[in-house]
Chains A and B, each alone.
Chain A
Amino acid sequence: MSDVTIHAPTSAKPSPFSARSLSPYFFILPAVAVMFAGLVYPVIQSFYLAFFDWRIGTDMDDAPFVGMENFVRMLTDEGVRESLWVTMRFGFWTITIEMFLGVSLALLLEKPIRGASIFRTIFILPLMVSPVVVGLIWRYLFDARIGWINYYLGYLGIEPQVWLGDADLAFFAMVFTDIWQWTPFIFIIVIAGLQALPSEVMEASKIDGANWWQHILFVKLPMIKSILIIALLLRLIDVFRALEVMFIMTGGGPGRATEVLSLHIYNRAFTTQQLGYASAIAVLLIVIVSLLSLAILKMGNPMKDKADI
């Protein structure tokens, strides 16, 4: 027994399975190799391509080296600035509303009420619907001629609108669609967080005479603060990933009213066919997303045990 206790206690306990038979490197190798080749290497290549003026249809090896030109151009590019602004406004409105709705919904369903599991199942359905299909459904509903939204607004005395043809309205439609699909994500994360709270604390606060609002605002929400922050950051990163719904509903238009940064990169690369310049914008996107990811890591990486650092 004594040889077992020699080891300093570490939080990642060595398993008899791997420690005695195979090196852990053997276990991580396939995953690390695929992630390197399929994620890390392409990111590095984006940096490399950003220094070339490579057009679709030409050979990559013949593309002229242009140094920092793509990056300099990016700084004064109206299109980049606009799509960045669209992304920021889009993120602000969707995330604010989704956080509010998602948390409210979780609070409504946290109690073990009759039918809770049915409601929970219903509320996660939108997450499973393919973004392309989500785009199609809402393009139909927002259609100016046969769309149901115009029809029902007619009952309220609102004239039919050309939803996807007007800059502000198309932006609104995009935000609305995103809220429909992604509020469930906040809901899921928050409800699991709420259910993990120790029931004694909840009881104690009630006995201490906290009313319903006080109980939620000053006891429950502060206790799941770290979960709320992580949910917020994950959504923030998703905003920079999204492009399918806009691609299907508006193609980024009218003008650039719904062209988020990801869609702008796609359009630069494959519509105006400037692959090198698109790579430079992709580098900008990577920098933004990396900064957000580092913020998440700082909040707490569950795979990193406190004892290790």
Chain B
Amino acid sequence: MAGKRINSPWGVVGHYAALIVLALITLAPIWVMIATGFKPDVVVQSRDPVWFFFVPTLDNYEFILTRGRFDTYLVNSIIVGTLSTVFTLTFGGLCAYALARTEFHGRVFVANTTLLVRMVPPAVLAVPAFAMVIQFNLDNDLAVLVFFYTALNLPFAIWLLFGFYKQIPVELEEAAIVDGATPLQVFYKVLLPLMTSGYAVAGIFTFRIAWNEFILALLLTSRSTRTLPVGAAGFITDTGVEWGRIMAMGTLIVIPPLLFTFFAARQIIAGMTAGAVKG
């Protein structure tokens, strides 16, 4: 019997044991990165793994924060991440709303095309994007990255927000109109409060892609417009990898997306599947 197996004491112990082992495997590499960032070089270079017992140092952080161009990369990443998220949510939200609520010529075509272009691999964009940048002399411009990240994220955002809009009964809007609300008031007072978690999830995923993306950022930026992942990769040199410093930088890169995860894990699970489950 299903119930018996799960509820027997050994079943419970086994269940938790399996979960804990898997959780440790999941967390261990992240911990290794965080710990290594705080280790003095001697410990980093030792052949014996040191999990916890070392005297932490801030040398690695001091180095990357003062001697690298970390501040420039950070500002670039924040600008690119924030702007592309704002554009994606604004444009994607409007489009998803129209797809969910109105009938128009070409609606199915737009919906299908949106799903198709969702799949364009960044490697395919690499050459044409590079060509565009040389042609228009844009290799020093963050706007190019904002533009491509918005384009890359729109299909997913539209797909996700469509699912959320579909869940809101249209009667709510109708009632507000009957009560004399203007279209703008309907949007702000009726729709937006109900869409908060939808926009939050879409925003988290958009920001995550823009924050983490590497290959286009590597190609389309120069020294002053580099983003954090490109900066981190720059620590790999021909003479070897400075593991302490690179792990400190990795830790700093990972902080924002991990914070989002802790605050919105439930919505993320719901959001990831808003499309898939109903498909």
A positions within 8 Å CB-CB of B = 10, 12-25, 27-28, 30-32, 34-35, 37-43, 45-46, 49, 60, 105, 108-109, 111, 113, 117, 119-126, 128-133, 136-141, 145-146, 148, 151-152, 180, 184-185, 188-189, 191-193, 196, 206, 210-212, 215, 226-227, 230-231, 234, 237, 240-241, 243-244, 247-248, 261-263, 265-266, 269-270, 275, 278-279, 282, 285-286, 289-290, 292-294, 296-297, 299-304, 308-309
Report if B114 contacts A (CB, 8 A). yes
Evaluate whether A124 and B112 lie within 8 angstroms (CB atoms) in the complex, with A42-B128, A136-B250, A137-B29 already known: no
Q: Do residues A40 and B91 form an inter-chain contact, with CB atoms below 8 A?
A: no
Report if B75 contacts A (CB, 8 A). no
A-B interface, 6 closest residue pairs, ranked by CB to CB distance from nearest:
A38-B151, A192-B273, A27-B98, A15-B101, A42-B128, A130-B212
Report 21 cross-chain contacts, Cβ distance below 8 Å, ordered by A residue: A31-B95, A34-B150, A40-B117, A43-B120, A45-B131, A60-B134, A122-B23, A128-B258, A130-B229, A131-B212, A133-B229, A133-B253, A140-B32, A151-B49, A192-B273, A240-B121, A243-B215, A279-B127, A292-B119, A303-B159, A308-B107
B positions within 8 Å CB-CB of A = 1-3, 5-6, 15-16, 18-19, 22-23, 25-27, 29-30, 32-33, 36, 44-49, 87, 90-92, 94-95, 97-104, 107-108, 110-132, 134-135, 147-148, 150-152, 154-155, 158-159, 162-163, 170, 173-174, 177, 183, 186-187, 191, 208, 211-212, 214-215, 219, 229, 232-233, 236, 241, 243, 246-247, 250, 253-254, 257-258, 260-262, 265-266, 268-270, 272-273, 275-279
Q: What B residues does A240 contact at CB under 8 A?
A: 121
Chain B facing A: main interface SS: helix
Known interface pairs A125-B261, A139-B241, A290-B116; 8 further A-B residue pairs with C-beta atoms within 8 A, sorted by A's residue number? A28-B94, A39-B152, A108-B19, A124-B268, A206-B3, A247-B214, A247-B233, A248-B236
Q: Do residues A289 and B120 form an inter-chain contact, with CB atoms below 8 A?
A: yes
C-alpha gap A133/B30 in the complex (Å): 10
C-alpha gap A191/B163 in the complex (Å): 18
C-alpha gap A128/B113 in the complex (Å): 27
Q: Do residues A303 and B215 form an inter-chain contact, with CB atoms below 8 A?
A: no
B16, B36, B97, B257: which contacts A128 (Cβ < 8 A)? B257
Query: Which chain A residue shows the least CB distance to B6?
Result: A111
Q: What A residues does B148 contact at CB under 8 A?
A: 38
Q: What A residues does B253 contact at CB under 8 A?
A: 130, 132-133
Q: What A residues does B104 contact at CB under 8 A?
A: 23-25
- A188 CB to closest chain B CB (Å) equals 5
Query: Which chain B residue shows the least CB distance to A251?
Result: B236
Q: Do residues A303 and B186 form an inter-chain contact, with CB atoms below 8 A?
A: no
- A6 CB to closest chain B CB (Å) equals 14
Q: Do residues B1 and A211 form an inter-chain contact, with CB atoms below 8 A?
A: yes
Q: What B residues does A16 contact at CB under 8 A?
A: 170, 173-174, 177, 186
Q: What A residues does B241 contact at CB under 8 A?
A: 139-140
Q: Do residues B147 and A38 form an inter-chain contact, with CB atoms below 8 A?
A: yes
A27, A42, A105, A227: which contacts B22 (Cβ < 8 A)? A105
Evaluate whether A46 and B162 lie within 8 angstroms (CB atoms) in the complex, with A38-B152, A141-B29 already known: no
Query: Which chain B residue shows the least CB distance to A39?
Result: B117
Q: What A residues does B100 contact at CB under 8 A?
A: 12
Query: Which chain B residue shows the least CB distance to A60?
Result: B131
Q: What B residues does A108 contact at CB under 8 A?
A: 15, 18-19
Q: What A residues does B183 contact at CB under 8 A?
A: 17-18, 20-22
Q: Do residues B2 and A193 form an inter-chain contact, with CB atoms below 8 A?
A: no
- B130 CB to closest chain A CB (Å) equals 7
Q: What A residues does B26 contact at CB under 8 A?
A: 122-123, 125-126, 180, 184
C-alpha gap A12/B276 in the complex (Å): 19
Query: Which chain A residue shows the least CB distance to B171?
Result: A13
Query: Which chain B residue shows the least CB distance to A268?
Result: B127
Query: Which chain B residue shows the least CB distance to A194?
Result: B277
